[in-house]
């Protein structure tokens, strides 16, 4: 009986932890997903933002791409087994937006 309760509690804890992660941008990535932020060149208007996001979301293995127009960056969550940072950079470059990996200097 004790084990059952413990198991239930752990399950609850794990699910709430997963939920918190899902809504938090600073979440630790799950085992299958990796996150990368790219600095994107040539981003000048709202259309660019859409073009970049669509180009990335077309890449197999990309879960989501979030463009930050003010910072000129895009943060991508992807499955490292299906695609790579090089592929992501190629995708934005192909639609006219050369990119490079964003390095966080405060880190
Ligand atoms: Cu534009």
Class of domain 31-107: alpha beta
Closest CA to 80 of 36, 38, 18, 37: 36
Report yes or no: 61 and 40 within 8 Å, Cβ to Cβ: no
Closest CA to 63 of 48, 51, 80: 80
Q: What is the mean pLDDT of residues 12-41?
A: 68
Of 85 and 24, more confident: 85
Q: What is the mean pLDDT of residues 85-96?
A: 98
Question: What is the whole-number distance in angstroms between the Cα of residue 92 and the centre of ligand 1?
Answer: 13
Q: Given this model, what pLDDT does residue 32 score?
A: 83
In this prediction, residue 103 has a pLDDT band, given cuts at 50, 70 and 90, of: confident
Domain range summary for the chain, segments of one domain joined by + = 1-27, 31-107
In this prediction, residue 26 has a pLDDT band, given cuts at 50, 70 and 90, of: very low
Question: What is the whole-number distance in angstroms between the Cα of residue 76 and the centre of ligand 1?
Answer: 20
Sequence-ordered strand ranges (E) for 14-91: 34-40, 62-68, 73-78
Q: Given this model, what pLDDT does residue 96 score?
A: 98
Closest CA to 33 of 10, 5, 72, 63: 63
């Amino acid at each position: 009986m004790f084990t059952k309760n413990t198991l239930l509690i752990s399950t609850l804890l794990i699910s709430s932890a997963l939920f918190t992660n899902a809504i938090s941008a600073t979440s630790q990535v799950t085992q299958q997903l990796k996150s990368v932020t790219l600095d994107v060149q040539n981003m000048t208007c709202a259309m660019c933002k859409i073009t970049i996001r669509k180009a990335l979301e077309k890449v197999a293995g990309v879960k989501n791409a979030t463009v930050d127009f003010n910072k000129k960056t895009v943060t991508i969550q992807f499955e490292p087994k299906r695609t790579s940072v090089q592929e992501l950079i190629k995708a934005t470059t192909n639609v006219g937006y050369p990119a490079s990996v964003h390095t966080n200097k405060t880190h």
